[in-house]
Structure 1
Amino acid sequence: MSRRQARPRPPLAATASLLVALVVAAPLLSGCGTQSAGSGSAAGGSAAPSGRTPVNDPGKDGVRVTSVTLPPASPSPSPSPSDDYIVSADSLPGDAAKPSADYEVTNSGTEALTYTVIFTFLSADGGAMDNPSVTVRDVGPGKTVRGTVRSGEMPPSAPRITGAEVLEVTAVPSAEAPAEPGVCPASGVRVSVDRGDAAMGLRVVSLHLTNCGTRPYSLDGYPLLELLDDRREPVDGVKILDGTGGITTGLGSDLPPEPFTLAPGESATAGLAWRNTTQFGTPVNVPYVRVRAKTGTDPVIVTPNLDLGTTGKLGVGPWQKTKPGQGAAG
């Protein structure tokens, strides 16, 4: 009977070397999938954007920042080993190179609201670097809407943005919100307010009305205003004057009203003027103004933020037809 010859075992050192090689090779083999370099995993195994940092922001009036995403700092160019050319990091494309903030808007009221939110992007020392504005329309009662806002272009010498927060929030019932750009409401007219001007305690803003419909629109007189506080409740104790002559002269808004008609595409303005003088009493601030172009028309709520001080007066000029190439009245 023949005896099978035993196969010699490899030396112990060779076996150990083989195991080490397999362990080292495993991560390299797994790297052949689709995961990109620098990406991480969020809760639940989903990939999280690089640079996103959660923010514990108490927010303001139902709006809060939930996280910020900051692009990596651009490294300084460094010479290559051959010194024949410069090696530098590729810049991020488009909006990816801009800091961004994720936010959420929660409506705890009983009617649909349209929010206008001003955010502020901050540097490490707390300085404001950019204040972008976002309009979030038709947030239903009890609903939460989420979105992302990005900063604008920053000059290379500007401090690096490190955070973001909510700066200012206004919210109006969606049924009375100004129409969004490019949309003509059922009334056939768009009403808005500009940012105005201020000098030596005098404040001036203008209401703008555009006939965006298909029929002529007639005006004769003053816009009808209702002043509202931060809860959109009527403000008492402020006298609304016909014309701005009781506030100041030379604005052109103290002329008597004259009837005119706007053809489709034409516009009109009406100036508002007040002084923010503060003496005895409690200063009055009016963040919201409900505007009717004339009797019987649908109201629109605008947000001029009238800081009326203790003067108790607001001058309102008549509607005036905007001439071609003319800016805001007054």
Structure 2
Amino acid sequence: MRHTVLSLPAALAGVLLLTACGTEQADGPDARPPASGAPCDGQPSGAPASPPSGDPAELERAGVRITGFGGGSRGCALFEITHAGSEPHTYTVTFDFLSDAGAVLDNTERTVAGVEPGRTVSGRIPLDESMAGPRNVSRIRIAKVRSVPADEAPSTAGPCPPSGLRVHADDGDAAMGLRVVSVHLENCGTRPYSLHGYPDVQLLDEGHEPVDGVRILHDGSSVAGGTGADGPALPLVLEPGERAWAGLVWRNTVQAGTPVNAPYVRVRAKSGADWVTVAPELDLGTTGKLGIGPWKKREEEPQDRPPSSP
């Protein structure tokens, strides 16, 4: 999956039939979608944008909607997002590229940072981002939308946050109902950072409300062994540029009861640290527990080491 950082937002799940497209306006707090009739990528021969047709529930949801779609070698999809919350949010939206028959040919992801309350931003997805090729893409839909408070958004690059720490979660591994996701922490500041123990976590549902009734167990082996998220919690000191990780381990077994899903996890390195909200998509089934591994220093990987001097 390809990831692109823009400035966008909320939830949308819809399929838009191929019609036409317009030139994307610059993103911004008051940005609106391009006027109907503008061609994709500024091509004079581009087809004018047309309003989407179909079930309104599929084309607009939670403040996000598709506003135009155009095919051909310069085809693109246009969308807009209106944030109705009370604080700025960063949105991550996954788009599926579909064939005529509805098969998913490819997908791409947009991260739109810092959407202010009550503001609307617009964006564009060029069809040539699809490995399937723009001429093979006949429909597009939003497969998933996630949003987090802008001041709790995870970070993997760019300016170092005021906390001096970058925190994010990876895509994880899954096998036979076992799930393992790693939370990564980097000291991007200028001073050493001390760790001892386990990250603090809070589970949130799709509406960003706390998820109750799940036991948080220290040591990933309380759920399954062999994940690396086990062993004693040892004191660590991360020098500037050094990294650490901690594992989240769970099973999605479903037996009696109601399955529990927690798309979001608020995590902080230790008591008193800043919270960061990640989206590891915890499908906890009816197990009622999540294992947390201790912080471990991430040693330099061989491929990351600079080449030896001759």
TM-score range, shorter chain: 0.7 to 0.9
Among residues 116, 120, 124, which one is paired with 1:140 in the alignment?
Answer: 116
| Count of matched residue positions in the alignment of Structure 1 and Structure 2 | 261
- Quick one: which amino acid aligns to residue 131 of structure 2? M
- Take 1:291 and 1:326, find their aligned partners in 2: how far apart are those partners? 29
Alignment match, 2:69: 68
| Residues in 2 aligned to 1:207 and 1:197: alpha-carbon distance in whole angstroms | 13
SS in 2 for 1:245: helix
What is the CA–CA distance in structure 2 between the aligned matches of 1:217 and 1:58, rounded to whole Å? Answer: 47
Change in CA separation of 1:315 and 1:69 when aligned onto 2, cut-off 3 Å? same
Deviations 1:262-298 (A, max 9, x none): 1111111101110000001100000100001001011
Match of 1:272 among 248, 258, 262: 248
Q: Note if 1:209 corresponds to 2:185.
A: yes
Aligned partner of 1:296 in structure 2 is: 272
What does 1:33-182 align with in structure 2 at a 5 Å threshold? 47-49=38-40, 50-51=46-47, 52-56=49-53, 58-71=59-72, 96=74, 99-151=75-127, 152-154=129-131, 160-179=136-155, 181-182=157-158
**Superposed displacement of residue 59, structure 1:** 2.9
The CA distance in 2 between the partners of 1:292 and 1:137, in whole Å, is 20
Runs of 4+ in 1 over 6 A off after TM superposition: 43-46
Contact preservation (8 Å) 2:178, 2:250: yes
Query: What runs of 5+ residues in structure 1 fail to find an aligned partner?
Result: 1-39, 73-95
Query: Which one has more relative contact order, counting CA pairs under 8 Å at least 6 apart?
Result: 2
Once residues 130 and 257 of structure 2 are traced to their aligned partners in structure 1, the CA distance between those partners, rounded to angstroms, is: 44
Q: CA deviation at 1:159?
A: 7.6
Corresponding residue for 1:187?
Answer: 163
> Matches of 1:239 and 1:146 in 2, distance apart?
41
Residue 85 of structure 1 is matched in structure 2 by none
In 2 relative to 1, CA 67–248 (structure 1 residues): closer, same or farther, beyond 3 Å? same
- Which of 207, 210, 222 does residue 231 from structure 1 map onto? 207
Kindly indicate whether the alpha-carbon contact (under 8 Å) linking 1:114 and 1:136 is maintained by their aligned counterparts in 2. Answer: yes
Report if aligned partners of 2:203, 2:210 keep a CA contact under 8 Å in 1: yes
- Tell me the CA shift for residue 48 of structure 1: 3.9
SS of alignment partner, residue 151 of structure 2: helix
Kept after mapping to 1: 8 A contact 2:107/2:130: no
2:219 corresponds to which residue? 243
Shift of the 61–44 alpha-carbon distance from structure 1 to 2, 3 Å rule, reads closer
Match of 1:324 among 286, 300, 304: 300
Contact kept in structure 2, 1:65 and 1:164, CA below 8 Å: no
Matched residues, percent identical? 51
Worse overlay, 48-57 or 225-234: 48-57
**Cα offset for 1:54?**
3.3
Matches within 5 A, 1:298-313: 298-313=274-289
User: d(CA) in 2 for partners of 1:107 and 1:282?
Assistant: 31
Q: Unpaired segments of 5 or more residues in structure 2? A: 1-21, 23-33, 41-45, 304-310
Pick closer, same or farther for the CA change 1:233–1:262 going to 2, 3 Å.
same
1:37 corresponds to: none
Per the alignment, do residues 138 and 221 of structure 1 end up closer, same or farther by CA in structure 2, a change over 3 Å counting? same
**What amino acid is the match of 1:245?**
S
Residues 184-216 of structure 1: per-residue CA shift (max 9 Å, x gap) = 100000000000011111011100001111111
Residue in structure 2 matched with residue 257 of structure 1 by the alignment: 233
Partners of 2:36 and 2:152 in 1: CA distance: 44
- Deviation of 1:47 (Å): 4.8
Question: How far 1:138 moved relative to its partner?
Answer: 1.1
Pair 251,286 (structure 1): closer, same or farther in 2 beyond 3 Å:
same
- CA apart distance, 1:62: 2.0
TM-score, normalised by the number of residues in structure 2: 0.79
| CA 297–319 in structure 1, closer or farther in 2 if over 3 Å, else same | same
100-109 or 286-295, which moves further after superposition?
100-109
Deviations 1:125-145, CA, capped at 9 Å, x for gaps: 111112110111111111111
Distance 1:46 1:311 in 2: 53
* Cα offset, 1:60, TM superposition: 3.3
Deviations 1:39-78 (A, max 9, x none): x9xx999654413443245233322221112115xxxxxx
The CA distance in 1 between the partners of 2:233 and 2:223, in whole Å, is 17
Structure number, greater radius of gyration? 1
- The alpha-carbon deviation at position 325 of structure 1 amounts to 0.3
